[in-house]
Structure 1
Amino acid sequence: MTNLNTLRAHPIGLPESPRKITPVVTGKRAWGMTGLVVFLYTVNYADKAVLGIIAQPLARELGLSSSQIGLVGSLFFTTFAIGGFLAGPLNKYLTLRWALLALALIWSVVMLPLVFTATFAVLIAGRMALGLAEGPSTALIHTAAYSWHPPAKRGLVSAILSSSASVAKILFAPVLAYISIEYGWRVTLLAISAIGVVWAAFWLVGWKEGPFTTLTAADADTDSPTAFVAESSREPSVPWRRIFLSRTFIACTFLAMSLYALTTIVLTWLPSYFELGLGYSAMQAGSLFALPSLAALTTMIASGAVTDRLIQRHVSSRIARIGVACAGVLVCGEVLITLPLIDVPIATVIVLTIGYGAGMVAVPLLHSAVSELCPPQQTAGTMGMYMALMALGGLIAPYATGVVVDHADTPAAGYALAFQGSGVWVVVAGIVALLIANPDRDGMMIRRT
């Protein structure tokens, strides 16, 4: 009988002997593997966004109020937050290859019962199961991508990963909206399921884990074409409380929660806002859904590339990561606060696009800053805790938005008020992070002996 301690020491899918040599690290291979991860993250966000796209036809068929649709969104993010705490255990007992494959296959099937039995209870059960399966994936996806890139070059990687949400809305949202209008919301769910299965096939054939989440920090900053992993890392693990109680971790988490609340409102309600609040058709609303994401995609990629260059030129992470992030967040909040004052539909779309694009600058930079706080072998656990706490921002925001819309004088006024409240939160959180977050200082304090 296999010894239980042996199983714990060697994750499923790995040989029982320690890994001594990692794959060759070249730019082409690193970005090829990153592309596979981005493909997965795009599918992940398409699964999140599909509720916003089918919300109105689903509500009409099932007789749902805005509060009920919002409740479904909040319950999804409740289990998403709970699932986030499972990232560390999954990374401990399974390889990234098999953990992410299993999670993606679960995503692909949990919403299918709704296709055959359309009830409010089945909708809730399916979305909660989807949230639980997607919860650990965010941290594991980042860990998988970071395994091919050293810390100094993770700003661009984080930006590309974070932009997967934008890519999903730019590429998938109009297509899914068209499918929903022409063929019904059930076919839309079947299409999302099929995309997940296609990704699984590519993943099984192509994925290999990189070296940079098992190397020491010193090793990870080199660009040598080959890398060797010692049987035990030369950088010792640190107590988790040092990481989680550091001022940078707390400030970044609070700011990320505020941005995630905004993201969940966009994912759940933006097409409905454009259709019911601003008077656009369902097809126009599905297409306009992509505009804020296009702005976010542009700003995230640009900020990721620029801040990586600053870090490599020895600019402090406090300036390059935190300073730039907070500048974008403050612009975002100030723009969203003005939304109830605007009564021209196209002007509302433009303001939302500018505000969302500015705020999303912070997302990849905060991810990168948090990843700098811990020894490489604790990346998955650190990112899992951070992203699980970040997801708490989505627990209340979708439901609260539905309640506000149901009780507002008009849908337009209700949606605008919800976005204004989100703007206030991100401003407060941005100021807090600007004052107390310092990845360089806290990273050294956490690693002290």
Structure 2
Amino acid sequence: MSTGTARERSAAADRQSAVRTQLSEFPVTPGRAWGMTGLVIFLYVVNYADKAVLGIIAQPLARELDMSYSQIGLVGSLFYATYTVGGFLAGPLEKRLTLRWALLALALVWSVVMFPLVVSATFVTLVAGRMLLGFGEGPSAALLHTAMYSWHPPAKRGLPGAFLAGAPSVAKIALAPALTFITVQWGWRAALVSLSLLGLVWMVFWLTGWKEGPYTGRVAQGTDTAPVPTEPSVPWRSIVLTRTFVSCAFMTTVVFALSTVVLTWLPSYFEVGLGYSALQAGSMFALPSTVALILMILSGSVTDRLNARGHTSRVTRIIVPAISVLICGAVLMFLPYIGAPGIAVAVVSVGYGIGTIAYPLVNAAISELCPPQQTAGTMGIFIALMAFGGLITPYVTGVVIDHAATPAEGYATSFQAIGLLGAAAAVLVLLFANPERDRKVIRSEE
């Protein structure tokens, strides 16, 4: 036992020495760290706008292509099918390419795959374009988190993680009204073209400004060559079979299911289900995201301070998000019993906003489980599993709406069902997840 302990202490000392050396050669200032984080957030905003645009253009596109609610939902689900498959490629991509070139290549894919639909609008080109977009976006979330984490130590990832997780909210707050206006004024094709141009603008900033940070547990060997790990890797099964990983994956899968319904259906719910105009519905798309952004930044800041004061990750990154999802579920379960449109909008906004607190905090907890150089692979697997929530939820929602007495009833029933699942998943996380315990078990297998 003493030999094993001495070996572990020696390995830990070597890792700390390597990190200190790297930091001395590559100092991190708050301005530089947050500047690089800003570039990552900018890409995530573009990334999420590409996802959200289907919800914004769904009604005019459906009218032009004569699509049913079920077909709209099927397009949404097929996107998340390829998104899930693509998520498993995050680790291999990061091994073969640096973060700089991997994310640049993915952004280029997002910027061009929807052009065939602009040129030839058919149901087939819509499905093909969205599936290719999903495959290209699948690895991005894990790589974006890895890029952001490379500039922040583990104990201080709650707040930057909250800003990154808030990028979807920024996309809906800042870009959704603009895309809605473009769609109403010039048609849905103009909205797709504008997003492609925005992606190209990001590429220019990325190529001229990005550099990987030192908190990856790797020693760089030049600008564009693969870094060398400074910490031993562990078997993947040791990470993904922990109670923390499994229970958190289930909970975030349900939260992700809620997000996919919001992305695919919320503007249609506001317009067709609650009676608002197309412009009002597109603008109100930002309301749940505004609540989510405020709560994510607040929770990220508070939990980082609690970590600095010695609170465990189980408290700050497990109990806090699990309770938030529990509240989210309870709120959404009441939606079918609300008749006033304004109150229904408020319920969806508050429920969604509270539930999304889980994203940055749980992601930070998962990043603690693995050695730093396995972050991209671990997050890729975790986010790919999370994306299973989008495989059938948009389609099932469309089927429910098609068979409901009214569209409003169909939408409300779908939200209620997700609320029930979310509450159950949150209870499981409270019972089983503990990052500190599982990290010790994983490290013992190095």
TM-score when normalising by structure 2? 0.92
Task: Give 2:175's aligned residue.
Answer: 172
Gaps of 5+ in 2: 1-20, 220-226
The Cα shift of 1:326 comes to 0.9
Matched-pair contact (CA < 8 Å) for 2:218–2:228: no
| Paired residue secondary structure (1:238) | coil
1:98 is matched with which residue: 98, 101, 120? 101
Which position in structure 2 is the counterpart of 1:304?
A: 300
Alpha-carbon distance, 1:234 to partner: 4.4
Q: Find the partner of 2:291 among 280, 291, 295.
A: 295
Distance (Å, rounded) in 2 between the aligned partners of 1:34 and 1:314: 25
**Length, aligned pairs only:** 417
Deviations 1:219-242 (A, max 9, x none): xxxxxxxxxxxx854431111110
* Aligned: 1:336 with 2:332: yes
> What is the CA–CA distance in structure 1 between the aligned matches of 2:145 and 2:350, rounded to whole Å?
26
1:267 and 1:244 map into 2 onto residues whose CA distance is 28
- State the alpha-carbon separation in 1 of the partners of residues 229 and 89 from structure 2: 23
Structure 1 residues 232 and 55, CA gap change in structure 2 (3 angstroms): closer
SS at match of 1:271: helix
Match of 2:118 in 1: 115
1:374 matches 2:377: no
CA contact (8 A) 2:271 2:277 kept: yes
| Structure 1 stretches of at least 4 aligned residues deviating more than 2 Å after TM superposition | 19-24, 231-235
Select which of 45, 61, 80 maps to 1:42: 45
1:399 corresponding residue in structure 2? 395
Could you tell me how far apart the structure 1 residues matched to 2:34 and 2:198 are?
Answer: 22
Give 3-state SS (helix, strand or coil) of 1:208's partner. coil
Q: CA–CA distance in 2 between the matches of 1:183 and 1:34?
A: 34
Which consecutive unaligned segments of at least 5 residues does structure 1 have?
Answer: 1-18, 217-230
Aligned counterparts of 1:193 and 1:23: Cα–Cα separation in 2: 35
The equivalences for 1:221-370 within 5 A come to 233-370=229-366
For residues 206-259 of structure 1, the C-alpha deviation after alignment (integer angstroms, 9 at most, x for no partner) is: 00000101259xxxxxxxxxxxxxx85443111111000000000110011000
- 1:79 aligns with 82
Residue of 122, 127, 142 corresponding to 1:124: 127
User: Which of 65, 69, 94 is the equivalent residue of 1:66?
Assistant: 69
1:188 to 191, 198, 211: 191
Q: CA deviation at 1:24?
A: 2.3
Query: Equivalent residue of 2:138, what SS?
Result: helix
Aligned to 2:438: 442
Deviations 1:79-133 (A, max 9, x none): 0000000000000000000000000010000001100100000000000000000
Q: Percent of aligned pairs with the same residue?
A: 63
Specify the code of the residue in structure 1 equivalent to 2:269: Y
Alignment of 1:89 with 2:92, yes or no, is yes
* RMSD of aligned Cα (Å): 1.2
For residues 404-449 of structure 1, give each alpha carbon's deviation from its aligned partner in whole angstroms, at most 9, with x where no partner exists.
Answer: 0000000000000000011011101100001000001101111014
> Which residue identity lines up with residue 71 of structure 1 in the other structure?
L
